Amino acid sequence: MIPAADILNAKILVVDDKLANVLLIEGMLRIAGYTCVQSTTDPKEVCELHRANRYDLILLDLQMPGMDGFEVMQGLKQIEADGYLPVLVITAQPDHKLRALEAGARDFVSKPFDLSELRARVRNMLEVRLFSKALAATVSELETTREALRLKTLEEKRLRDQELSMAQQTQESLLPGIIPCFENFEIRAFNKPTRYVGGDFYDFMPLESGNWMGILADVSGKGMPAALLSSMVLGAFNLQFKAGLPAYEVMDKINQLLCEKSLPAQFVTLFLFVLNAAGEGGFISAAHNPSYVYRAATGQIEDLVSDAYFLGMFSFATWQSRPLRLDQGDILFVYSDGLTDAEDSLHEHFGEERLRNVIREHAPGGCVAIEQALLNAVEAFTEGALQTDDITFVIVARNGGPGISTAC
């Protein structure tokens, strides 16, 4: 996570031709604790100010005389080599929102704006921006020194491993440090990358609707490239869900982002679900391997199979949510294919049948029993053989009935 002090010390520029709006936004930001806030009422000054200060966030009005916000963004694109514009636009025109996002803006706030919403969007954008910059800096440093470290002594190799360990800590910060507690549910999660950093991630988030969402994703590739794409995807998911969008719209927006920003060979498979306290909700599986639901009433396992595209491969792709219900005692099991593809010394795969048998046998004991039995089964099967893919899984058990609060 990005330290709160770094967020509050981020460089912010407020751009609006009306001084009253500038003073209002500046005052709100300073009351919220932001220490590096600048402003201008002249849009023609923005590019030079950004070239000199490299702002982490620019709050930009679109309707300005002489030079509108779209022209300002065109100028900023000439400065930002990676094409990323740290811009949050402010507009009173509904038809300008999509155009602004297509022009490179990261988010928008409608006029007349709500100060609480504006504060939340500012903080969310800064958190994602600063995390991406920190991870990109780590990647750049590691790539610069990779070849030199390869040729040096064992002591220098130890130093390289230490740096990679720091990168691992950065990657691990993408995952929840503490699994959140949701009424009537127990959650367990496990992640083991094949290298210091990998391309799998999971996350859980309460939603404004009172529901909560969970996600497990598998980014193509391994190592730092996959980790960098993972950070971008996870940050985008958090930003869009905090904006209150439904799951299918979040998928559409992130797919467009990946189609524009990722390499042609990069893509993401994922399983996304949303549930309420009664265990009712839906799921989207984007070309992901089957997930399972253990039914406590029958002892049977149901497959939740994907019928959708990969994320980030086709700009025309769309996704629709399918119904999901967990009754009391039911268990949802979501995993990356590194689990079933785990190999023994003879290159035989652990496979779906062994996985289903472990779930069926240990589900009555709950999440912890399944997790421990599965890790033991994989360890016994592989016998220490080097694995070629990340292993990640999430277990969700419905423990309470309607109106019953389950202790975490």
Residue 161: what pLDDT? 72
Burial label for 171, CB within 10 Å (0-12, 13-18, 19+), is buried
Q: What homologous superfamily does CATH list for 176-398?
A: PPM-type phosphatase domain (3.60.40.10)
How many angstroms separate the Cα of 138 from the Cα of each of 134, 149, 163, 248? 6, 15, 9, 33
Q: Model's pTM, two decimal places?
A: 0.59
Residue 20: what pLDDT? 92
Please give the sequence-ordered ranges of beta strands (E in DSSP) within 258-403, or none if there are none: 268-275, 280-286, 291-295, 300-304, 322-325, 331-335, 391-398
Cβ neighbours of 237 (radius 10 Å):
23
By three-state DSSP, how is residue 226 classified?
Answer: helix
CA 402 to chain centre: 31
The residue count of the chain comes to: 408
Burial label for 348, CB within 10 Å (0-12, 13-18, 19+), is exposed
Residue 152: what pLDDT? 64
In CATH, the number for domain 4-126 is 3.40.50.2300
Residue 404: what pLDDT? 34
CA distance 342 to 330: 26
Under-50 pLDDT residues of the chain: 401-408
Find residue 282's DSSP bridge partners.
274, 323
Residue 402: what pLDDT? 43
Residue 407: what pLDDT? 37
- Angle value at C-alpha 282, between 277 and 288, nearest 5 degrees: 125
Residue 388: what pLDDT? 76
Q: CB-based contacts of 317: which residues, under 8 Å, 6+ apart?
A: 255, 308, 309, 310, 311
